[in-house]
Amino acid sequence: MQEISPELRDFAERYTAAWCSQDPDKVAAFFSPNGSLAINGGPPSLGRAAISQAAKSFMLAFPDLCVGMDRLAQAGERIEYHWTLTGTNTGPGGTGRTVRTIGYESWSIGADGLIDESVGSFDADDYERQISGRA
């Protein structure tokens, strides 16, 4: 595995802080203007406005949203950003339940040094189980 540069590690740390900021536009600013974010095989959010909306949906659901960076790795031409999300589902229509889930994003970095494409994944069944309180 290739070594991660200090600049890329700093980028990922600032991206992590953006997710914890409750400002979805800060998350979108890490993407190229025409970048994309796809989660769990769903249709990608294309462009910063759509990426901001995707981030906002998590931030609204979890007003105390905290994302931690677990690991950053080079995987060929892509960067793997592994994270843990914690928060309490107290947003509109929330259940009041606490969620802790892990996931990752696979990034393609564009010529502008920003994320051109992010393909992310997390265990949606476990996430739903935690929100609903099912055993």
**Rounded average pLDDT over 12-31:** 98
Check: CB of residue 13 under 8 Å from CB of residue 69: yes
Tell me the pLDDT tens digit for each residue of 68-122.
999 999 999 999 999 999 999 999 999 999 999 999 999 999 999 999 999 999 9
| pLDDT, tens digit, 9 for 90 and up, residues 120-133 | 999 999 999 999 98
Residue ranges with strand state E in 45-114: 45-46, 66-75, 78-88, 98-109
Q: How far apart are CA 39 and CA 37, in angstroms?
A: 7
> Which domains, from first to last, does the chain contain?
6-132 (3.10.450.50)
**Alpha-carbon span 4 to 60, nearest angstrom:** 32
CA angle 23, 66, 34 (to 5 degrees): 45
